[in-house]
């Protein structure tokens, strides 16, 4: 996750800069075409059906064959799909999504599933005029404005990590695992989104009741549906609203905040409410971005990704509220400790949970 080394005296010539921008443009076109393939069901259909001609793909998905041909050729030109059969006078050209690409683009259970990342980019692209206005005025672009692409993109990309890795990660912290596994445990999940983190907690700790909080009504509605579909509706509930105002005092043995604190306009108030909602011996666990300890330029790929999210999505959402802490996605450990201290916590510990996406886990103790 470290930054690449570079000779500061070497300089950069015009050709290098032009090549960098040209390569970035190719990547942008790929990502936007990935958005189309994801949204139109083309990747899923190719994954299930094997090699298809453009007309066959269009027929199976209810889409236009001319667009399907152009998209398939673009995907093949970029090396995302392969050409299974060359075109001949009697045989149309067929295209195949190989297994590795299918896992990344069409398998929502894989922790390598990245098709939803294109939805994030698409959500930001639609709002570029609004973002330019916000950058001028100091205003923002809200999560509601970014719409369902941003909401489902985040939910679908994080879901496999919660479903496949969260229980094991928490089990790797024995005292926390025992605390959460006690009979009658009550757990809150603030900023729960579409509920996959809360559902993962309920599955990992069958003796616990889990309640999710989120200010976005479409997210909590989806979360409630997902909980019922998972057979966990009797142990789970969801509240739409600002957790700073809706968390009951003295109600929970543990409060979790998964990848949301950096988005919140008032993180100190949220953490203060979380602290007050704890029962004796309660704990707050925050999972947020594993940003570097200090700003470095040029930075590594993870830091660049975080700044991409921050400039186009997270910071504008936070600044759509007034007043706002305007944290941004690049939340460093020092910022987390500052927020926790101001919220009245006496201790902040980085938990020994590694290789869990781009995230870091903190334990906050009153």
Average pLDDT (6-16) is 68
Residue carrying structure tokens 């004796």 = 280
Helix (H, G, I), strand (E, B) or coil at 279: strand
Contact 276, 343 (CB under 8 A): no
Measured between alpha carbons, how far is 105 from 31 in angstroms, rounded to an integer?
11
Average pLDDT (168-194) is 96
CATH class of the domain defined by 14-107: mainly alpha
- Per-residue pLDDT, 305: 96
Strand partners, 240: 214
Q: Strand (E) positions, the chain? A: 82-85, 94-96, 186-190, 209-214, 236-240, 252-258, 278-289, 347-350, 359-365
- Per-residue pLDDT, 87: 64
Q: What does the block give as tokens for 21?
A: 């921008």
Q: What does the block give as tokens for 185?
A: 């445990």
Measured between alpha carbons, how far is 138 from 361 in angstroms, rounded to an integer?
31
- Per-residue pLDDT, 90: 74
Sorted by sequence, the CB contacts under 8 Å of residue 98 that are 6+ apart come out as: 81, 82
Helix (H, G, I), strand (E, B) or coil at 348: strand
Over residues 59-93, the pLDDT tens digits come to 999 999 999 999 999 999 999 999 987 766 778 89
Phi, psi of 193 (to 5 degrees): 60, -135
Sorted by sequence, the CB contacts under 8 Å of residue 53 that are 6+ apart come out as: 92, 93, 94, 95
CATH number of 124-365: 3.40.50.150
Contact 128, 113 (CB under 8 A): no
- Per-residue pLDDT, 2: 44
Residue 90: count of CB within 10 angstroms of its CB? 5
- DSSP structural state of residue 172: T
Domain parsing of the chain, residue ranges: 14-107, 124-365
Average pLDDT (208-212) is 98
- Per-residue pLDDT, 85: 73
Over residues 243-287, the pLDDT tens digits come to 999 999 999 999 999 999 999 999 999 999 999 999 999 999 999
Whether the bond into 298 is cis, omega within 30 of 0: yes
Over residues 284-309, the pLDDT tens digits come to 999 999 999 999 999 999 999 999 99
Mean pLDDT of the chain: 95
């Amino acid at each position: 996750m470290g930054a690449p080394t570079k000779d500061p005296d070497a300089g950069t010539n015009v050709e290098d800069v032009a090549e960098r921008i040209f390569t970035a443009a190719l990547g942008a076109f790929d990502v936007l075409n990935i958005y189309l393939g994801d949204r139109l069901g083309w990747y899923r259909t190719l994954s299930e059906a094997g090699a298809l001609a453009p007309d066959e793909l269009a027929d199976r998905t209810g889409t236009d064959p001319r667009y399907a041909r152009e998209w398939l050729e673009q995907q093949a030109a970029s090396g995302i799909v392969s050409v299974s059969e060359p075109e001949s006078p009697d045989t149309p050209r067929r295209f195949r999504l190989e297994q590795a690409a299918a896992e990344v683009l069409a398998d929502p259970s894989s922790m390598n599933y990245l098709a939803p990342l294109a939805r994030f980019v698409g959500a930001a692209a639609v709002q570029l005029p609004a973002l330019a206005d916000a950058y001028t005025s100091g205003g923002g672009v809200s999560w509601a404005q970014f719409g369902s692409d941003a909401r489902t993109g985040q939910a679908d990309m994080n879901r496999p990590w919660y479903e496949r890795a969260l229980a094991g990660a928490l089990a790797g912290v024995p005292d926390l695992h025992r605390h959460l596994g006690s009979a009658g445990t009550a757990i809150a999940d603030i900023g729960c989104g579409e509920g996959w983190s809360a559902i993962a907690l309920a599955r990992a700790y069958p003796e616990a009741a889990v309640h999710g909080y989120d200010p976005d009504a479409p997210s909590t509605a989806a979360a409630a549906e997902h909980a019922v579909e998972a057979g966990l509706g009797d142990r789970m509930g969801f509240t739409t609203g600002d957790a700073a105002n809706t968390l009951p005092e003295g109600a929970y043995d543990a409060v979790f905040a998964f990848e949301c604190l950096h988005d919140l306009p008032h993180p100190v108030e949220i953490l203060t409410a979380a602290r007050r909602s704890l029962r004796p011996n309660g704990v707050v666990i925050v999972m947020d971005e594993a940003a570097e300890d200090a700003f470095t330029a040029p930075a590594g790929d993870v830091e660049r990704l975080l700044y991409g999210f921050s400039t186009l999505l997270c910071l504008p959402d936070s600044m759509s509220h007034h007043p706002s802490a305007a944290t941004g996605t690049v939340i460093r450990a020092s910022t987390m400790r500052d927020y926790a201290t101001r919220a009245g916590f006496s201790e902040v510990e980085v938990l020994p949970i590694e290789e869990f996406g781009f995230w870091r886990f903190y334990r906050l103790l009153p």
